[in-house]
């Protein structure tokens, strides 16, 4: 199957984007790439809010995929509504086949404790795979320094989502640090999920997120005590392009 972008073009883009503002990388995804079906994906954390702001300035009403697992904090859901209204983005809630109640009936209570891989597969990986099938390109808010698993993230990669289906992933925030994001949000008067104020550094599902303790990596509060760093959606079928 022919990939959507050639290896040569990926190398050029990734080299050039090292010195670009994330806004210009978002602009390339939405306007310069020639890819038709482009959507953002966000959990409405700090970086995602910045990317949504940049994208909404370029394409008003831009689409955003939100994985509505059924296990989010109330604060996150309220923040999502507030940001969606403020920026005018079109949020699509992506859900799996189970509600928390039907999941408990099928697999037992607290699947996120007994088998978090299965829980993420049911509530995140499978539904996101289904949503990505309809796209040519998705834009995330990955930062390289947010966890060891993200240290080598390319700005643009192209990979086989599944046999016969190629997709492009764009990480405009790859080279920014948290302080860059916070400065951007402040400059543009954009609010944060209030959970940051009480010590959360990375905010996902409530049962699998806790505050960060002094000296910890940004994502150590996610699946604390487990060797799990990622839910798996960023790794669906991925072969990162070598920059
Ligand atoms: S992050 Fe936790 S609650 Fe959310 S889908 Fe994964 S295991 Fe389940």
Query: What are φ and ψ of residue 164, in 5° steps?
Result: 90, 0
In terms of residue numbers, what domain contains 213? Answer: 7-235
Atom of ligand 1 nearest to the CA of 71: 3
What CATH number is attached to the domain comprising 121?
3.40.50.620
CB 204 near ligand 1, within 6 Å: yes
Atom of ligand 1 nearest to the CA of 112: 7
Q: State the pLDDT at residue 211.
A: 85
User: Total domain count for the chain?
Assistant: 1
Residue 80, domain member (yes or no): yes
Pocket-testing residue among 107, 231, 233, ligand 1, by greatest number of atoms within 8 A of Cβ: 231
Nearest CA to ligand 1 atom 6: 120
Pocket-testing residue among 98, 107, 120, 235, ligand 1, by greatest number of atoms within 8 A of Cβ: 120
Residue 56, domain member (yes or no): yes
Q: Long-range contacts made by residues 174-180, C-beta under 8 angstroms, separation at least 24?
A: 174/142, 174/143, 174/144, 175/18, 175/143, 175/144, 176/22, 176/47, 176/143, 177/143, 177/145, 178/46, 178/143, 178/145, 178/146, 178/218
Q: State the pLDDT at residue 237.
A: 64
Q: Which of 36, 235, 34 is nearest to 135 (CA)?
A: 36
CB 116 near ligand 1, within 6 Å: yes
Nearest CA to ligand 1 atom 5: 120
What does the alpha-carbon distance between residue 155 and residue 158 come to, in Å, rounded to a whole number?
10
CB 159 near ligand 1, within 6 Å: no
The CA distances from residue 87 to 55, 196, 219, in Å, are: 9, 20, 27
Q: State the pLDDT at residue 238.
A: 58
Atom of ligand 1 nearest to the CA of 205: 4
Residue 69, domain member (yes or no): yes
Cβ atoms of 144 and 125 within 8 Å: the answer is no
b/e map of 47-74 (b: 16 or more CB within 10 Å)? bbbbbbbbbbeebeebbbbbbbbebbbe
Residue 179, domain member (yes or no): yes
Helix (H, G, I), strand (E, B) or coil at 147: coil
What does the alpha-carbon distance between residue 118 and residue 112 come to, in Å, rounded to a whole number?
8
CB 119 near ligand 1, within 6 Å: yes
Q: State the pLDDT at residue 242.
A: 30
Residues recognised as catalytic: 231
CB 72 near ligand 1, within 6 Å: no
CB 124 near ligand 1, within 6 Å: yes
Residue 243, domain member (yes or no): no
What is the Cα 59 distance to its own chain's centre? Answer: 19
Residue 1, domain member (yes or no): no
- Taking the model in full, what pTM does it have? 0.92
Residue 242, domain member (yes or no): no
Q: State the pLDDT at residue 227.
A: 64
What does the alpha-carbon distance between residue 181 and residue 36 come to, in Å, rounded to a whole number?
28
Per-residue pLDDT of the chain (243 residues; tens, 9 = 90+): 778 899 999 999 999 999 999 999 999 999 999 999 999 999 999 999 999 999 999 999 999 999 999 999 999 999 999 999 999 999 999 999 999 999 999 999 999 999 999 999 999 999 999 999 999 999 999 899 887 888 889 999 999 999 999 999 999 999 999 999 999 999 999 999 999 999 998 899 999 998 888 887 777 767 676 666 666 666 776 543 332
Residue 241, domain member (yes or no): no
Q: State the pLDDT at residue 53.
A: 98
What does the alpha-carbon distance between residue 182 and residue 184 come to, in Å, rounded to a whole number?
5
């Amino acid at each position: 199957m022919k990939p959507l972008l050639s290896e040569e073009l990926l190398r050029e883009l990734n080299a050039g984007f090292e010195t670009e503002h994330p806004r210009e990388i978002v602009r390339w995804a939405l306007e310069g790439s020639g890819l038709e079906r482009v959507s953002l994906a966000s959990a409405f954390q700090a970086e995602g809010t910045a990317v949504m702001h940049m994208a909404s300035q370029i394409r008003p009403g831009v689409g955003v995929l939100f994985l509505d697992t059924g296990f989010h904090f109330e604060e996150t859901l309220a923040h999502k509504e507030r940001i969606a209204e403020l920026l005018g983005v079109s949020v699509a809630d992506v859900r799996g086949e189970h509600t928390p109640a039907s999941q408990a009936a099928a697999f037992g209570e607290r699947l996120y404790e007994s088998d978090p891989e299965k829980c993420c597969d049911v509530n995140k990986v499978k539904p996101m795979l289904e949503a990505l099938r309809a796209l040519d390109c998705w834009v995330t808010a990955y930062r390289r320094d947010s966890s060891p698993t993200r240290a080598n993230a390319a700005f643009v990669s192209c990979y086989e989502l599944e046999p016969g289906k190629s997709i492009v992933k764009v990480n405009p925030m790859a080279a920014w640090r948290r302080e860059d994001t916070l400065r951007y949000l402040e400059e543009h008067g954009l609010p944060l999920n209030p959970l940051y104020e009480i010590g959360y550094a990375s905010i996902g599902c409530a049962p699998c997120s806790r505050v960060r303790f002094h000296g910890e990596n940004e994502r150590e509060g996610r699946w604390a005590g487990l060797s799990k760093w990622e839910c798996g959606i960023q790794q669906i079928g991925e072969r990162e392009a070598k920059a």
